[in-house]
Amino acid sequence: MTLRLPGPDYEFRTTWRVAGTVAEVLGVLADVRALPRWWPAVYLDAAVLDGGAADGTGTTAAFRTTGWLPYTLCWTMTVTEPVTAAGYTVRAAGDLAGTGRWTFAQDGPEAVVTYLWRVRAEKPLLCRLSWLFKPAFAANHRWAMARGQESLALELRRRRAPDAAALARIPAPPRPAFARLAGVLGRLSRPVRRCP
């Protein structure tokens, strides 16, 4: 669901249902270094800048991300409240600036994951063209989150695989939509400054 906001401001609410437990989902999402491995359609690079406190607060990571549209975003995420089985909140800065709220609930054999993302596009290209391409940018976000649900479900299956044969039968996660083009454009669109 996308709420209409003026200019380069966006609000998205995404809900995933995946076979597994909230604890399993938290284990996957908390491992930010692994995001490019299990969600490669979106996360091109991830680096932990600050490990934060024992409860997760202050944990900061830098990302380079893409989507269906051939552009990349360079941004950081900082956990702003304790990570619990109920959820946690993050702050984004860089090409995207705003807040995200993950919430989790168990519904029988499925974990229900909801993400509320209130963000402003700070990347100059997205900021300048938002008046024209806002629907395309919103569709790009929906595409990225659909790949996230699919990739999370596959990663949970991989982590539960009882042996190498079972692991080999699990498909690889979806790749970036414009893998080659994303690589070239990523090099061209990287900011001169180091990713914050």
Asked if residue 90 lies in contact with residue 77, where contact means CB atoms within 8 angstroms, the answer is: yes
Q: What does the alpha-carbon distance between residue 4 and residue 27 come to, in Å, rounded to a whole number?
A: 33
The tens place of each residue's pLDDT in the chain, 196 residues long, gives: 545 556 789 999 999 999 999 999 999 999 999 999 999 999 999 999 999 999 999 999 999 999 998 889 999 999 999 999 999 999 999 999 999 999 999 999 999 999 999 999 998 888 888 888 889 999 999 999 999 999 999 999 999 999 999 999 999 999 988 754 545 555 544 443 344 4
User: Where along the chain do its domains lie?
Assistant: 2-162+174-189
Gap between the Cα atoms of 123 and 31, Å rounded:
26
Identity of the residue numbered 126: L
CA distance 99 to 76: 11
pTM of the model: 0.87
Q: What are 182's two structure tokens?
A: 């994303």
CATH of domain 2-162+174-189: 3.30.530.20
Please state, as a whole number, how many other Cβ atoms lie within 10 Å of the Cβ of residue 194: 8
Can you tell me which residue has the tokens 């519904």?
107
For tokens 């284990």, the residue is 27
Q: Is 122 left (phi over 0), alpha (psi -120 to 50) or beta?
A: alpha
